[in-house]
Amino acid sequence: MAEHVRIFDTTLRDGEQAPGFSLRVSEKLRLARQLDALGVDLIEAGFPIASPADAEAVYRISQEIRRPVIACLARCHRADLEKAAEAIKPADKGRIHTFIATSDLHLKAKLRMSREQCLEAAVEAVRFSRHHTFDVQFSAEDATRSDLDFLCRVVEAVVKAGASTINLPDTVGYATPDEIREFFTTIRSRVPNSDKVIFSTHCHDDLGLAVANSIAAVQGGAQQVECTINGIGERAGNASLEEIVMAFKVRQERLPFTTNINIRELYPSSDLLTRLTGQGVQVNKAIVGRNAFAHEAGIHQDGMMKDRRTYEIMRAEDVGAPWNPLVLGKHSGRHAVQRRCSELGLTVEGGELIEVYRALMAIADDRKVISDNDVVAVVSSVRTGSTRLDHVDPFDTPSGVAAGHHPTGYGHGV
């Protein structure tokens, strides 16, 4: 039987902390509405002590968004916790997410405190938070580089103090999948009453392993995954929500986990984020990138025209993305050219198809991607007997073709 995994979205907190991704209060509220439509279980709406705008955003999201849990971040400091408690007060389901570093490196170099002081601060923060909400999450920052014995002591203590969720972050993206799976398995086996709380994973992508590590953590017993839309976040980013969810969906036989995510809202969520921030995703980004469901190679195009399953393991429309898979370029075959012509209302066959194909490939060598304008102009040129294909103006708009039409029909809103 498949196990259920909670999706804790931190796009509005950790994601927004990344350079270039800052959002206004109204924009955070708009994105929170989309995250609600997406079906996330928890929205981490901000870090109230960071700025008045962040505190306002958390408060307004708490007022309006009712279905998911609304969480906000606070250090193990009284001022942070008071600000967090005030910000989530309107929420139907509010969570204070308090944290402190537990690795010796962070304790010595950053916090300049002893292990015992760290333990005391963690327990006091959880106790204080419980006076304001029954839903308290504790995070041991830099958990994967912490001494295991000390970390188990901290987890046991905060559970006794009333924490209901324990997050063990791979803060600097240092762990490997086999390591983090064993890490969660070990801690859950060593901490008393671990079955009474939810364990959460929060992985960063410094080594490109955030998604793999998050999945491994779930296999090790984590029941909550902290992630972001498009994988945005500090430095190299966080684990990508859409990649984790679709890995569970596509590989159910190997990854028997379910989520509450409405996968048809994945692409719209990604698109909204890029439009609000002005920061696009890489074209080959899994699930939501412009090329995620596009094919240029002739062999791939031929297979796609016969059966999509030959080269696609999921459907674009399942994640809410537009689907026009045939990108014409120098690797394309004649069948793809003929199909694109047909889609544009142009019937080309036999010798005419060969001439059109050769002319388009000549353009592709120079321009990399062939637009619909190119196709229409080349067909017209071949039919009028022009031998000056180099005079075809790619920016001239023939009748019936929209100016600036993207060759794949797969824009990303930026």
- Confidence at residue 370, expressed as pLDDT on a 0 to 100 scale: 75
- Looking at the fold, whether 233 and 315 belong to one and the same domain comes out as no
- Looking at the fold, whether 156 and 270 belong to one and the same domain comes out as yes
- Looking at the fold, whether 124 and 262 belong to one and the same domain comes out as yes
Residue 284 lies in a domain: no
CATH number at residue 269: 3.20.20.70
- Looking at the fold, whether 158 and 260 belong to one and the same domain comes out as yes
Residue 410 lies in a domain: no
> In terms of C-beta density within 10 A (0-12 exposed, 13-18 middle, 19 or more buried), how is residue 13 classed?
buried
Rounded to the nearest 10°, the torsion over CA 207, 209, 210, 211 is 160
Full domain range(s) for residue 152: 3-277
- Confidence at residue 397, expressed as pLDDT on a 0 to 100 scale: 36
Which residues of the chain fall below pLDDT 70?
A: 294-305, 323-327, 386-414
- Looking at the fold, whether 240 and 185 belong to one and the same domain comes out as yes
- Looking at the fold, whether 335 and 238 belong to one and the same domain comes out as no
| Residue 268 CB-half CA count within 13 A | 18
- Looking at the fold, whether 152 and 233 belong to one and the same domain comes out as yes
Residues 272 and 53: beta-carbon distance below 8 Å: no
Residue 289 lies in a domain: no
DSSP-assigned letters across all residues of 123-147 = HHHHHHHHTT-S-EEEEEETGGGS-
Residues 227 and 10: beta-carbon distance below 8 Å: yes
Domain count of the chain?
2
Residue 283 lies in a domain: no
Task: Calculate the CA 26 to chain-centre distance.
Answer: 21
Residue 170 lies in a domain: yes
- Confidence at residue 316, expressed as pLDDT on a 0 to 100 scale: 84
- Confidence at residue 407, expressed as pLDDT on a 0 to 100 scale: 34
- Smallest CA-to-CA distance from 83 within 54, 107, 122, 41 is with 54
pLDDT 10s digits, 1-35: 789 999 999 999 999 999 889 999 999 999 999 99
Percentage, residues of the chain above pLDDT 90 = 68
Question: How far apart are the C-alpha atoms of 113 and 115, rounded to whole Å?
Answer: 7
- Smallest CA-to-CA distance from 263 within 308, 316, 227, 215 is with 316
Question: How far apart are the C-alpha atoms of 292 and 360, rounded to whole Å?
Answer: 24
Residue 287 lies in a domain: no
Alpha helices in 40-198 (DSSP H): 52-64, 78-87, 104-106, 115-130, 148-161, 177-190
Residue 215 lies in a domain: yes
Residue 32 lies in a domain: yes
Which of 242, 277, 312 represents a domain boundary (last residue)? 277
